[in-house]
Amino acid sequence: MGYLYFVKFEEAEEKFIQGWGQLGASWGINRTMSQINALLLISTQPLSTDDIMAKLNISRGNANMNVRELISWGVVRKSFKPGDRKEYFYSVKDMWEIARLVSKERKRRELEPLLTMLQEVRDVEGSSEQVKEFKRVTRDVEKVAKKADSMLDLIGKLDGNRFFKWLMKK
Query: Where do contacts with DNA occur on this chain (CB under 7 A)?
Result: 25, 30-32, 48-50, 57-62, 64-68, 83-87
- Residue 151 interface partner, choices its own copies, DNA, none, CB cut-off 5-8 Å depending on type: its own copies
Burial (0-12, 13-18, 19+ Cβ within 10 Å), 37: buried
The H or E element that residue 48 is part of is strand 47-48
As a whole number of angstroms, the distance between CA 34 and CA 70 comes to: 9
The smaller minimum CB distance to its own copies, of residues 64 and 111, is found at: 111
Q: How far is the CB of 121 from its own copies (least distance, A)?
A: 4
Query: Binding to its own copies (CB under 8 A): which residues in 75-134?
Result: 93, 95-96, 99, 109-110, 113-114, 117-118, 120-126, 128-131, 133-134
As a whole number of angstroms, the distance between CA 21 and CA 120 comes to: 36
- Residue 127 interface partner, choices its own copies, DNA, none, CB cut-off 5-8 Å depending on type: none
Nearest alpha-carbon partner for 77 in 96, 97, 62? 97
Nearest alpha-carbon partner for 140 in 150, 151, 148, 129? 148
Q: How far is the CB of 154 from DNA (least distance, A)?
A: 30
Q: How far is the CB of 128 from DNA (least distance, A)?
A: 27
What SS3 state is found at 95? helix
Q: Would you mind telling me the total number of residues written for the chain in this entry?
A: 170
Q: Which residues contact 93 (CB under 8 A, 6 or more apart)?
A: 41
- Residue 57 interface partner, choices its own copies, DNA, none, CB cut-off 5-8 Å depending on type: DNA
Interface residues toward its own copies, by CB under 8 A: 2-3, 5-9, 12-13, 15-16, 19, 22-23, 25-28, 41-44, 93, 95-96, 99, 109-110, 113-114, 117-118, 120-126, 128-131, 133-134, 137-138, 140-141, 143-144, 147, 150-151, 154, 160, 164, 167-168
